[in-house]
A and B are shown apart, each in its own frame.
Chain A
Amino acid sequence: MATRGFHGRRSSIDPSRLPPGQYLTSDFPVLSAGPTPQTPLDEWTFTIQDTDGSNLGKWSWKEFTALRSSDLTTDIHCVTKWSKFDTRWKGISFDDLMEEAGIDPPAEYVMAFSDGGYTTNLAVEDLTEGQGLVVWEYDGAQIEPEHGGPARLLVPHLYFWKSAKWVRGLSFMDQNEPGFWETNGYHLRGDPWKEERYDGD
């Protein structure tokens, strides 16, 4: 159904890079549900937990950022409709993290947990083969706190709420349980190319 009088402003961008319902932005909008947490780096740790809550790996900030790292330049897509192309990040891939911990993923799902109580659920198959990273640099500098620093998850093929800000660890789960936004009306997986924005999409 056409909207009377609406012509739109088509840009010259490659449509194959922009998922349905998204628009391209050059700035970097911020979306979070509460105040930005402030955790001093000397108190920061990153933990991987088994399904029973036991630790499979734990690193301090210094240890974590000394692990093998990789660079990724990627497009990101927020459920609030903006997309941003060619964002540059540095961090450790989920695959490398498993190797550093000396484990194979013990379950099919993880809950990422963050300072401030934020959580988001992910399938392990959405993290492996370089698809998911924990990053601590954006555009060559430390990640600003409002953009999720000191470290955030980066899972760019899913809507950006899955790329949890202020991430402090991953907890393996046998069942796919919903995290914070997923219990507040948003989709359990969040594939932008299928426009999985809300619960039921």
Chain B
Amino acid sequence: MRRGPIPWRTSEVRELSWATPRVRLIRLHVPGWPGHLAGQHVDLRLTAEDGYQAERSYSIASPAEKPGIELAVERLPDGEVSSFLADELRAGDTLELRGPVGGYFTWQVEQGGPLGLVAGGSGVVPLMAMARHRLARASTVPAHLLCSWRTLEDVIYREELERLAARGDGLVVTHTLTRATSTPPPGFLGRRIDRTMLMEALPGPEQRPLLYVCGPTPMVESVASLLVSIGHAAERVKTERFGATGGVR
């Protein structure tokens, strides 16, 4: 059906920063990168001195319109790869990767909208690529992004999302905190995503939005079912999940 395999490439770590105490942003320079669609991911491969290897997939946060790629890696409690990327990686290091991978959970401005994007925690990453792609292409397709975070400390891309929403070009951002101990700060809701929130924060079924849901499995299961129950067509709901059925990730 196509040419040869997607090749492994050697990328260079250009920039590292912390988005939250647990999430590290990694900006990579990838010689020969063929470009990607918002929503796609890469496979990373780490190799130890003795040849032992570990591979993981990470969504791309940056739009194809910008050079290089940005990943946002959340350090998981037992994460063999994520703890290396979070704690050991330095600017100037090289990382083997291949991609882009995945042709389904993607969006391009040509597909139109309106868009309903729902993120649970670091599930915001591929949706961020879509919002950034939309901006890079000066699109005014109505887009509603609903983000669910545990606490204020966990919010990734807070300032950038504020700037994007302030442009008044049709992007609306709603945040909710699921483990807020006191009253949520101004501009934040303070409960898990529920039916009412999905009805208020996203375009209604009559507008036939394209819906993208990404996050931990229990959240995605719940949101996707609720979207169908309020009248959205199941075939317009695209999901991407991480982690197991329930319990801790």
Contacts and interface: CB of A to CB of B under 8 A. Distances in A.
B52 A198 contact: no
Given A34-B238, A35-B227, A81 B6 contact: no
Interface in A1-33: 1-10, 20-23, 25, 27-33
B180 interface: no
A1 B43 CA distance: 16
Given A3-B94, A27-B245, A199-B1, A184 B225 contact: no
Range of interface residues on B (Cβ < 8 Å): 35 or more
B102 A185 contact: yes
Main secondary structure of the interface of A (DSSP, over half): loop
Interface in B214-234: 217, 221, 224-225, 227-228, 234
B55 interface: yes
Contacts, number: 126
Nearest to A180: B104
B234 A21 contact: no
Interface of A: 1-10, 20-23, 25, 27-37, 80-81, 116-117, 144, 146-147, 178, 180-181, 183-185, 188, 197-201
23 contacts: A1-B47, A3-B46, A3-B47, A3-B94, A5-B84, A23-B54, A27-B244, A29-B242, A30-B221, A30-B241, A30-B244, A30-B245, A33-B238, A35-B237, A81-B55, A116-B234, A146-B221, A147-B245, A178-B1, A184-B103, A197-B43, A200-B6, A201-B5
